[in-house]
Amino acid sequence: MLIGKQSWQFANRPVIESSAASGGPFEAEGKLAADFDILHDDLWMGQDSYEKAHRYLLEEAINAALSKGDFNKAEMQFMLAGDLINQITP
């Protein structure tokens, strides 16, 4: 149930059924590279702006999480997402 403008209260504890992470070349070179589901060599992911590349990564991670959990978009009830540099608001 929605409480106020942006807070939720659940009757039962939420369960994370699936997750995924995608990243670019910097993540691929980092210590956590093995924890990413998808990594790219191209910083811009073939997009014409950095913001579009970030959006592409987010959409790709969502689709990977759905695939890993054997879900489709219609079955998704909630999504928790973010980017570490806070440039995207999905």
- pLDDT class of 6 with cuts at 50, 70, 90: confident
With respect to residue 11, please indicate whether it lies within any of the assigned structural domains. no
What percentage of the chain reaches a pLDDT higher than 90? Answer: 69
Compute the distance between CA of residue 48 and CA of residue 11 in angstroms, rounded to an integer. 44
Q: How many domains does the chain have?
A: 1
Q: Residues 29-65: pLDDT tens digits?
A: 999 999 999 999 999 999 999 889 988 999 999 999 9
With respect to residue 55, please indicate whether it lies within any of the assigned structural domains. yes
With respect to residue 50, please indicate whether it lies within any of the assigned structural domains. yes
With respect to residue 61, please indicate whether it lies within any of the assigned structural domains. yes
Distance of CA 1 to the CA centre of its chain: 23
Give the range of the structural domain holding residue 36, as residue numbers without chain letter: 19-72
With respect to residue 66, please indicate whether it lies within any of the assigned structural domains. yes
With respect to residue 78, please indicate whether it lies within any of the assigned structural domains. no
With respect to residue 31, please indicate whether it lies within any of the assigned structural domains. yes
pTM of the model: 0.80
With respect to residue 45, please indicate whether it lies within any of the assigned structural domains. yes
Task: Give me the pLDDT at residue 86, please.
Answer: 60
Q: Residue 22: is it exposed, middle or buried by C-beta count within 10 angstroms (0-12/13-18/19+)?
A: buried
Q: What is the mean pLDDT of the chain?
A: 90
Compute the distance between CA of residue 45 and CA of residue 60 in angstroms, rounded to an integer. 11
